[in-house]
């Protein structure tokens, strides 16, 4: 297995790169999907979240009340850290299971772990990546994307960006930096070049 950690801030273009690598033949493990899986009703992580943040973060149907939880964690770094301490280890355990499954199917598989909070969760991942790829776009570009494509207010967009690791911290992790400030075509070209590189090495 050749394991790539793919990360980038919100609205950086990371998902575009992830999809492209999947189209080219990589096995993509999406941490956002795992983050939903590990807090489904009945999971230990959801019980811990309810105990930590109170019953208001649980909806009437027993599922996680994401807007309520978001209103708590996106304005309070300490609360966000408490949530991460619950969810990051659970997500990482599930990711490891999927990595092992991909390897058992194809020992030479190129696996892309698509994870927005790679910098924030670094202490919770006891495994090294063969390559860390950071998709990067400046804050103004990302705010415009969040406002235009996701319908956020500028205030909410800025708050989401500020709740994540600083851009400089992600860039410092990068073995490969993909600049997504430009056109979609240019971002895809960089993703294709990355695939050619890792295919040859893997």
Give CB contacts under 8 A, 24+ apart, made by 42-50. Answer: 43/90, 44/90, 45/86, 45/87, 45/90, 48/86, 49/83, 49/86, 49/87
Output the domain CATH number for residue 57: 3.40.50.300
Q: What domain range includes position 92?
A: 2-201
The tens digit of pLDDT for each residue in 66-119 reads 999 998 998 888 999 999 899 988 998 999 999 999 999 999 999 999 998 787
Per-residue pLDDT of the chain (202 residues; tens, 9 = 90+): 999 999 999 999 999 999 999 999 999 999 999 999 999 999 999 999 999 999 999 999 999 999 999 989 988 889 999 998 999 889 989 999 999 999 999 999 999 999 987 876 665 555 689 999 999 999 999 999 999 989 999 988 898 888 888 888 889 989 999 999 999 999 999 999 999 999 987 5
CA-based diameter of the chain, in Å?
51
Q: What is the pTM of this model?
A: 0.84
Quote the Cα angle for 151-156-159, to 5°: 140
As for how many domains the chain has, the answer is: 1
């Amino acid at each position: 297995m050749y394991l790539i950690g793919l990360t980038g801030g919100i609205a950086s273009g990371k998902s575009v790169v992830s999809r492209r690598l999947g189209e080219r033949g990589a096995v993509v493990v999406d941490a956002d999907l795992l983050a939903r899986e590990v807090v489904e009703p009945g999971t230990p992580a959801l019980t811990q979240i309810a105990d930590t943040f109170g019953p208001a973060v649980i909806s009437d149907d027993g599922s996680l009340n994401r807007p309520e939880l978001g209103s708590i964690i996106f304005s309070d770094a300490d609360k966000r850290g408490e949530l991460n301490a619950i969810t990051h280890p659970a997500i990482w355990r599930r990711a490891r299971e999927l990595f092992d499954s991909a390897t058992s199917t194809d020992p030479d598989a190129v696996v892309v772990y698509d994870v927005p909070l790679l910098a924030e969760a670094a202490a919770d991942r006891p495994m090294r990546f063969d390559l860390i790829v950071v998709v990067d776009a400046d804050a103004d570009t990302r705010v415009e994307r969040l406002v235009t494509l996701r319908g956020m207010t500028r205030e909410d967009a800025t708050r989401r960006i500020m709740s994540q690791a600083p851009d400089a911290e992600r860039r410092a992790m990068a073995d490969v930096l993909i600049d997504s400030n430009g056109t979609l075509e240019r971002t895809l070209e960089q993703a294709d070049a990355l695939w050619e590189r890792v295919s040859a090495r893997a």
